[in-house]
């Protein structure tokens, strides 16, 4: 695109308020210039949900509808996720929804259509300070990683959904810079990938099964991954389960 003569990506950190609350986070994201994605997007899309939510659902980036409305997971992928949560017994009122990247990345298509473009590692890294701030605000017991971009934001670029789903994962030992360490992570496919899948029924069932694991971890019916003793001791504010 024509405007890409020099791309500045200082990262979001300087826009993150010192002691953020829900409102100052949302305001900060609107004025963030941590990477170039703010330029073409309608607005930034902060996380949404109860600030004392037990679970953080982490997606990739806002889609077309989310970009227009300023709310995460309001489009088709979000509706699929809602339905799957309901089937899995995961109460939506305990889920805070957010994305690894807060501005919509897209390519211009024909007739004003905007075509989703996966955010790059550079965008995930630039936007990371907002995710850290959301984690420290919400302090969720568990994180639901939706797809490869979200997985990369937590575990780094070598993360693969196929190898990681189906069992509770431990929050990475070196963290992502948050003070808070969730007790578990459940990784699953991105709901958009389920929507696009040629084996949609099978992939939807697998999504529901992964969400059921999160439900079981919340209720105590499944155990979170064991944490090594020295890590447990150094964990700020962690609570069992
Ligand atoms: N896909 C995402 O990853 N996040 C949204 O908010 C919507 C669609
Ligand atoms: Fe800032 Fe993230 Fe938006 Fe980039 S995508 S401008 S880092 S909020």
Nearest ligand, CA 58: 1
| Residue of 11, 36, 38 to mutate, ligand 2, most atoms within 8 A of C-beta | 38
Dist CA 171 CA 138 (whole Å): 16
All domains of the chain in start order, with CATH: 12-221 (3.40.470.10)
116 has which bridge partners?
106
> Shortest CA distance to 185 belongs to which of 155, 205, 157, 156?
155
Write the pLDDT tens digit of every residue in 145-154: 999 999 999 9
Task: Say how many Å lie between the CA of residue 29 and the centre of ligand 2.
Answer: 7
Please spell the DSSP secondary structure of 150-173, one letter per residue: HHHHHH-TT--HHHHTTS-BPPPT
- Using pLDDT thresholds of 50, 70 and 90, give the confidence band for residue 3: low
pLDDT in tens, 111-121: 989 999 999 99
CA angle 31, 36, 38 (to 5 degrees): 40
The percent of the chain in helix, strand and coil, each rounded to the nearest 5, is: 45, 10, 45
Q: Tell me which of 130, 131, 134, 153 to substitute to probe ligand 2's pocket, judged by most ligand atoms within 8 Å of the beta carbon.
A: 130
32 lines ligand 2 (CB under 6 A): yes
| Chain segment 183-238, per-residue pLDDT in tens | 999 999 999 999 999 999 999 999 999 999 999 999 999 999 977 665 655 555 44
Q: What span, in angstroms and rounded, lies between the C-alpha atoms of 149 and 124? A: 8
Ligand 2 atom closest to Cα of 41?
Answer: 3
CA distance 180 to 73: 24
* Crossing angle between the packed helical segments 76-88 and 200-219, to the nearest 10 degrees: 50
User: Are 58 and 188 a contacting pair, CB within 8 Å?
Assistant: no
Residue 98 φ then ψ, to 5° = -150, 180
Q: What is the pTM of this model?
A: 0.93
CA distance 31 to 39: 11
Using 50, 70 and 90 to split pLDDT, how confident is the model at 181?
A: very high
DSSP H or E stretch at residue 146: strand 142-146
45 CB near ligand 2 (under 6 Å): no
């Amino acid at each position: 695109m024509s405007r890409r003569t020099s791309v500045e990506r200082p990262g979001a950190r300087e826009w993150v308020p010192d002691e953020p609350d829900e409102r100052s986070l949302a305001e900060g994201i609107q004025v963030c210039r941590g990477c170039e994605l703010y330029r073409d997007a309608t607005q930034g899309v902060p996380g949404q949900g109860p600030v004392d939510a037990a679970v953080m659902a982490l997606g990739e980036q806002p889609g077309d509808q989310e970009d227009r409305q300023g709310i995460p997971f309001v489009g088709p992928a979000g509706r699929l996720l809602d339905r799957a949560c309901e089937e899995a017994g995961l109460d939506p009122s305990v889920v805070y929804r957010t994305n690894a990247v807060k501005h919509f990345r897209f390519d211009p298509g024909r007739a004003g259509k905007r075509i989703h473009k996966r955010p790059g590692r550079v965008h995930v890294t630039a936007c990371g300070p907002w995710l850290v701030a959301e984690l420290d605000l919400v302090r969720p017991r568990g994180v639901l990683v939706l797809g490869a971009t979200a997985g990369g934001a937590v575990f780094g670029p070598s993360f693969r959904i196929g190898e990681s789903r189906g069992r509770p994962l431990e929050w990475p030992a070196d963290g992502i810079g948050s003070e808070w360490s969730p007790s578990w992570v459940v990784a699953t496919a991105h709901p958009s990938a389920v929507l696009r899948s040629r084996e949609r029924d099978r992939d939807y069932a697998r999504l529901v099964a992964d969400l059921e694991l999160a439900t079981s971890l919340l209720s105590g019916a499944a155990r979170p991954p064991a944490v090594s003793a020295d890590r447990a001791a150094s964990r700020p504010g962690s609570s069992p389960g």
